[in-house]
Amino acid sequence: MHVNLLSSLELLIPERQSKTKKLNSTFPTVCSILAPGALASLVYSYYDVELVKNCLFWRRGLSDVYLVETLSKPYILRVSHHHWRSKNEIDFELELLEFLRDRQILVASPLRTKEGNLSIEIDAPEGKRYAALFHYAPGEIALGDFNHTQSFLLGETVAKLHQATKGFKTVAYRQPLDLKHLLDDSLQIIAPFLHRRQQDLKYLLEAIALIKYQLSSLPAKSPYWVVCWGDPHSGNVHITRNNQMTLFDFDQCGYGWRVFDIAKFWQVGLQTGLSRTIRQAFLDGYLSYEKITDIELECLQALTQAAYIWAWAIALNYAKFYDYSRLDNSYFSQRLERFKQLNCKDWQLF
């Protein structure tokens, strides 16, 4: 049954009918769920694909993801959230994926529409959203997590990706993964939640100041500065039985230090309990293709902490919209305890 909130109120309060009728009948929306059937029709109309037989709402994350099945093959449709990414930021990512595909880096690349566009603009109730259709990455996510061989291969692949991005050019702008974005912008999101935990806030402020100092000597120029994937971990890779890897989810990509991608892999691995030998295999794989300097190696702990703070801020933003009940005292206590582990002498042992 369709229920209109304003119409119901008018029945309860007849004397206000003349005023409420002038109001817009659509209630404000933060993030709508777009109907899979309508998206299936959209895909078939805009893309040169076979008849779509099924469209399933796969999962909600930083964007909404749909599994689109045609008569012969599957695709992934990603629909951005209005509050998360601008078209400019999305264009940067999609153009990067095309660029990497053309240079034989195995990524789940976007398809262009019949008119040659990389995305479709959708007028959702909350505002503009953008849909992009991707080739489905062959294989599956690693069972449990990476083994030594898979971690090594991914590290090698990321090194090849960094080498390839040196020729990437675009007019689209995306916020670089610099200290302002990783630390200052993240602090603006985290700090309001710690206003009743002044000692914890003081600790975080001092830790961020130390991270900035430790990274102050790391040059933001070639060869140190490349386009980073931004989120390398086992959940963003499909692997075939012969260990062919296809990378996907470049939503957090941007210009940054090449060792940041190593630090981000370590940060996720430490958080999920990936063993030290498996984490080290990623670095070994990277070094098998691309050598890095001693100064970069010395910055890995500080960058791992920066990656943690950045990921924490992103998770907070998500929870504010969709899962605020999680943000209790225990949540922040656990988060701070994990961060303190990254900030100690024996951080690699956790």
Hey, what are 255's tokens? 């210009």
The string over 309-341, giving b where at least 16 C-beta atoms fall within 10 Å of a residue's C-beta and e elsewhere, is bbbbbbbbebeeeeeeeeeeeeebeebbebbee
CA 134 to CA 55: how far, in whole Å?
14
Hey, what are 193's tokens? 């939640």
For residue range 285-316, list pLDDT tens digits in order: 999 999 999 999 999 999 999 999 999 999 99
For residue range 223-242, list pLDDT tens digits in order: 999 999 999 999 999 999 99
Residues 149-175, mean pLDDT to the nearest whole number: 97
Which residues, other chains included, contact 315 with Cβ-Cβ below 8 Å and sequence gap of 6+? none
Q: Could you tell me if 321 and 30 are in contact, meaning their C-beta atoms sit under 8 angstroms apart?
A: yes
* ω into 223 cis (within 30 of 0): yes
Q: Could you tell me if 262 and 307 are in contact, meaning their C-beta atoms sit under 8 angstroms apart?
A: no
Percent of residues, the chain, with pLDDT higher than 90: 87
DSSP-derived pairing of the beta strands 245-247 and 254-257:
unpaired
In order of 27, 80, 294, the CA distances from 219 in angstroms are 49, 33, 13
CA 342 to CA 350: how far, in whole Å?
8
Flag whether the pTM goes above 0.85: yes
CA 28 to CA 188: how far, in whole Å?
26
Checking if the pLDDT of 5 tops 60, the result is no
For residue range 92-105, list pLDDT tens digits in order: 999 999 999 999 99
Hey, what are 327's tokens? 């943000």
Checking if the pLDDT of 6 tops 60, the result is no
For residue range 171-219, list pLDDT tens digits in order: 999 999 999 999 999 999 999 999 999 999 999 999 999 999 999 999 9
Q: How confident is the model at residue 27 (pLDDT cuts 50, 70, 90)?
A: confident
